[in-house]
């Protein structure tokens, strides 16, 4: 189920602003999330979804993943958002307030119905559920496994802290347990984990620190509120040259080991075995996506011939 | 389709447009645009096309354009027509 599509940066773009929508082709983020929910006033929900539909239909030469954040399915707008926007073929739907597996299953069913109606492949529309309440975080494991369409779990700290009746701090200590629970659920299900937004667009050091923290924990990407944040996030998620060099040495060492008929070998005094090789392979895949190495590492190099 | 009430759609931000619709006996389209000189005729053609698609033959249509592209003109008119023809 897991694929290796790089999703370091998922940029929110307000759905009712032509000036922002039109710039989507030139943003160098990995994915865009066009927002019909919080960025659109209640009186303009209808206008925004029609604008997004027209924009997507017109944007045929697509160069990045396009997700649409719809309104919650239990609101009066959620279903209508799907109905208007899906014929314009976004890649997936970001589902807000995905508090229970049942909510995601409901979206899955609706997407299947639309796929049948539109005569496209079943499973074409992917899903990115937002875990953004105490209930959603508690249910993370069930949600991660509630649909084959899910490619990642997204943690939403703003709504989460609101649901906990606490303030979000710069250090983010209050988010640690929730971040970990979302991560465990994602890793156990073999999907990606996307960290929450960092709202202060002027605080690039704060953004860098939070992104480094999320990466150290295991997150593979971050949601962004402004295109100015893309560069910092990409820098943080890019493998460092010394990591790439070491990973290449690891792969070379394990291949040498196999020639010698063993599954373990020492490299620079440290043991290299399967988990080390796996980690190296992941670094090299990311490096490949960054253009730092020329060839994609194949499965046989990682696991050896059967 | 008939325009049955006064409505508006869109914004006055750059790259957007504001559409005003009102009931009237005949079709009357007025367009004011920041790019009138270069694109006035093309905007008018797009507006006529969308109105025809929705079968709007009568009504006051007033457009204030801030350099919108075709997709935005289509979307804002579509929204205004939906709002103005809803009973």
Strands (E), chain A: 9-14, 31-35, 65-69, 92-95, 126-131, 152-155, 192-195, 221-224, 265-267, 270-272
**In the predicted structure, residue A2 carries a pLDDT above the cut 60:** no
Q: Quickly state the pLDDT bin for B5 (edges 50, 70, 90).
A: very high
Q: Which two tokens stand for residue A196?
A: 């929450």
Residues sharing a CB contact under 8 Å with residue A34, sequence separation 6 or more, in sequence order: A13, A15, A21, A24, A52, A55, A66, A67, A68, A69, A90
Contact B75 A57 (CB under 8 A): no
Report d(CA A213, CA A175) in Å as an integer: 11
Q: How far is CA A124 from CA A91, A119, A121, A127, in A?
A: 7, 11, 6, 10
A contacts of B82 (beta carbons < 8 Å): 46, 50
Cβ neighbours around B16 below 10 Å, total = 23
Percent of chain A at pLDDT > 70 equals 98
- What is the distance between the alpha carbons of residues B73 and B31, in angstroms, rounded to a whole number? 12
Half-sphere exposure of A145 (CA within 13 A, CB side): 8
Of B13, B69, B71, the CB nearest to A17: B13
Mutate to test the interface with A, among B71, B78, B83, B84 (most CBs of A within 10 A): B71
**The pLDDT value given to residue A303:** 74
Rg of chain A over all Cα atoms, to the nearest angstrom = 21
What is the rounded average pLDDT for all residues in chain B?
95
In this structure, are strands A92-95 and A126-131 parallel, antiparallel, or unpaired? parallel
Q: Assess if residue B2 is contained within a domain.
A: no
In the predicted structure, residue A147 carries a pLDDT above the cut 70: yes
Instruction: Report the range of poorest mean pLDDT among A68-72, A265-269, B36-40, B68-72.
Output: A265-269
Residue A27 has pLDDT above 60, yes or no: yes
Query: Is the Cβ of A88 closer than 8 Å to some Cβ of chain B?
Result: no
Q: By CB neighbour count within 10 A (0-12 exposed, 13-18 middle, 19+ buried), where does B45 fall?
A: exposed
CB B63 within 8 A of CB B31: yes
CA distance B85 to chain A (A): 14
Report the percentage of chain A scoring pLDDT > 90.
Answer: 79
- B70 to chain A, any CB pair closer than 8 A? The answer is yes
Residue A142: is it exposed, middle or buried by C-beta count within 10 angstroms (0-12/13-18/19+)? middle
In chain B, whose CA is at the least distance from the CA of A16?
Answer: B10
Give me the pLDDT at residue B6, please.
97
* DSSP H or E run through B45: helix B36-53
Q: Is residue B39 part of a domain?
A: yes
Euclidean distance between CA atoms B42 and A103, whole angstroms: 46
Domain extent, residue B24, equals 7-85
pLDDT tens profile A165-190: 999 998 899 999 999 999 999 999 99
Token output for A195: 């960290």
Min mean pLDDT across A47-51, A300-304, B78-82 is at A300-304
The pLDDT of residue A283 is above 60: yes
Can you say whether the dihedral through the CA atoms of A259, A260, A266, A268 is positive or negative?
A: negative
Per CB-CB distance under 8 Å, the chain A contacts of B78 are 50, 54
CA distance A51 to chain B (A): 5
Q: How many residues appear in chain A?
A: 306
Please judge whether B71 and A17 are an interchain contact, meaning their C-beta atoms are less than 8 angstroms apart.
no
* CATH code at position B48: 3.30.230.10
Rounded Cα–Cα distance for residues A72 and A75 (Å): 5
More confident residue, A36 or A281: A36
* SS3 annotation, A72-123: CCCCCCHHHHHHHHHHHCCCEEEECCCCCHHHHHHHHHHHHHHHHHHCCCCC
Tens-digit pLDDT profile for residues A218-249: 999 999 999 999 999 999 998 899 999 999 99
Neighbours of A306 (CB within 10 A): 4
Complete DSSP assignment for A289-304 = HTTSSSSPPPHHHHH-
Find the CB nearest B78 among A16, A18, A50.
A50
Two tokens, residue A23:
């710039």
Question: What pLDDT is recorded for position A261?
Answer: 85
Query: Is B21 within a domain?
Result: yes
Q: How many domains are there within chain B?
A: 1
Let me know if residue B1 belongs to a domain: no
Domains of chain A: 9-237 (3.20.20.60), 241-303 (no CATH)
Instruction: Enter the tokens of residue A99.
Output: 């508090």
* Residue B77 within a domain: yes
**Per mean pLDDT, which range of A11-25, A48-62, A214-228, A284-298 is the poorest?**
A284-298
What confidence tier does A288 reach under pLDDT thresholds 50, 70, 90? confident
Under DSSP, is residue A228 helix (H, G, I), strand (E, B) or coil?
A: helix
Mean pLDDT for the stretch of residues A105-133: 98
pLDDT digits (tens, 9 = 90+) for A41-76: 999 999 999 999 999 999 999 999 999 999 999 999
Cα Rg, chain B, nearest whole Å: 12
pLDDT score, position A1: 36
Two structure tokens written together for B45 = 């053609």
B54, part of any domain = yes
**Summary mean pLDDT of chain A:** 94
CB A97 within 8 A of CB A72: yes
Task: Identify the pLDDT of residue A257.
Answer: 87
Cα gap A274→A126, rounded to integer Å: 32
Residue B71 located in a structural domain: yes
The whole-number pLDDT of residue A199 equals 94
Q: Tell me if chain B has a CB within 8 Å of the CB of A22.
A: yes
Mean of pLDDT values over A271-296: 87
Is residue A3's pLDDT more than 60? no
Per-residue pLDDT, averaged over B14-40, amounts to 95
């Amino acid at each position: 189920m897991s694929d290796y599509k790089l999703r370091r940066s998922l940029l929110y773009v307000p759905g009712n602003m032509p000036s922002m929508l039109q710039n989507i082709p030139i943003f160098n983020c990995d994915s865009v999330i066009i927002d019909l929910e919080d960025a659109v006033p209640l009186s303009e929900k209808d206008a925004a979804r029609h604008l997004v539909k027209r924009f997507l239909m017109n944007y045929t030469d697509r160069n990045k993943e396009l997700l649409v954040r719809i309104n919650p399915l239990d609101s009066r707008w959620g279903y209508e958002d799907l109905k208007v926007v899906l014929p314009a073929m976004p890649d997936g739907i970001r589902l807000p307030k995905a508090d229970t597996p049942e909510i995601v299953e409901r979206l899955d069913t609706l997407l299947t119905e639309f796929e049948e109606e539109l005569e496209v492949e079943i499973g074409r529309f992917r899903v990115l559920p937002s875990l953004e309440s105490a209930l959603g975080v508690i249910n993370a494991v069930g949600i991660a496994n509630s649909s084959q369409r899910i490619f990642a779990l997204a943690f939403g700290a703003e709504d989460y802290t609101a649901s906990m009746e606490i303030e979000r701090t710069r250090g983010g200590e209050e988010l640690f347990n929730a971040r970990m629970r979302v991560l465990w659920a994602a890793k156990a299900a073999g999907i990606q984990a996307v960290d929450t937004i960092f709202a202060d667009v002027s605080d690039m050091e704060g953004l860098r620190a939070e992104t480094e923290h999320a990466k150290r924990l295991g997150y593979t990407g971050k949601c962004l509120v402004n295109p100015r944040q893309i560069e910092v996030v990409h820098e943080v998620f890019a493998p460092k040259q010394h990591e790439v060099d070491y990973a290449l040495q690891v792969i070379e060492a394990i291949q040498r080991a196999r020639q010698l008929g063993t599954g373990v070998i020492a490299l620079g005094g440290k043991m290299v075995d399967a988990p080390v090789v796996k980690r190296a392979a992941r670094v090299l895949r990311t490096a490949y996506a960054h253009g730092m190495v020329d060839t994609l590492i194949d499965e046989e190099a990682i696991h050896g011939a059967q | 389709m008939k325009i049955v009430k006064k409505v508006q759609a869109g914004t006055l931000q750059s790259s957007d447009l504001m559409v005003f619709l009102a009931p009237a006996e005949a079709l009357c389209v007025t367009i004011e645009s920041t790019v009138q000189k270069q694109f006035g005729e093309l905007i008018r053609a797009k507006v006529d096309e969308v109105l025809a698609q929705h079968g709007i033959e009568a009504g006051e249509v007033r457009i204030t354009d801030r350099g919108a592209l075709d997709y935005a003109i289509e979307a804002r008119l579509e929204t205004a027509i939906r709002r103005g023809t809803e009973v």
